Amino acid sequence: MLLAFNKPFNVLCQFTDRSTPPRRTLAQFGLPKGVYAAGRLDYDSEGLLLLTDDGALAHRLTDPRHKEAKTYWVQVEGTPEQAQLQALRQGVVLNDGPTLPAGVEWLREAPRLWPRDPPVRFRKTVPDAWLALTLREGRNRQVRRMTAAVGLPTLRLVRVAVGRHALAGLAPGQWRQLG
């Protein structure tokens, strides 16, 4: 079984949480028993999370050797310059080494998304922009670290696709079974 789930902001990618106070988890969303996240999506990120009950499938989806493409819509602080976009395309050096090149597109209009709760803080004097960023590796907080490294801090991060699987109209907290 493979499920697509639209993980809301500030939800853990696991079914239990031992922190105090406890954070929201996947247990609240009526997912079938026996599935688990195939990969991670940070607590403060949103969007497509694949869940499965098939260990071999989870391995194929998450093992870096398979280089499964993951596409994100990223709201960044600032107006991107060509040099910043090119740096992302070439790969940037992070504290754990250089990244692989990324696919980057400046989205001239904000994508149509659900409102985030709480909303991203709006500042009249600081512009923001949206990028579509595609990675083929999955380091811890990689998108946020890459955009910060080129001077475009991430304000909001939404994963919209993993390989051929897309978010495609799921509202936050909704899930559907995939083929």
CA 119 to chain CA centroid, Å, is 17
49, 39 in Cβ contact below 8 A?
A: yes
67, 137 in Cβ contact below 8 A?
A: yes
Task: Please tell me which residue in 17, 42, 63, 117 is annotated as part of the active site.
Answer: 42
Which of helix, strand or coil describes residue 85? helix
Q: Is 42 a catalytic residue?
A: yes
As a whole number of Å, the CA-based R_g of the chain is 16
Q: How does DSSP assign 101-167, residue by residue?
A: P-EEEEESS----PPPSSPPPP-TTS-EEEEEEEES---TTHHHHHHHHTT--EEEEEEEEETTEE-
Residues 101, 60: Cα–Cα separation, whole Å: 21
Which of helix, strand or coil describes residue 37? strand
- Catalytic residues, by residue number, are 42
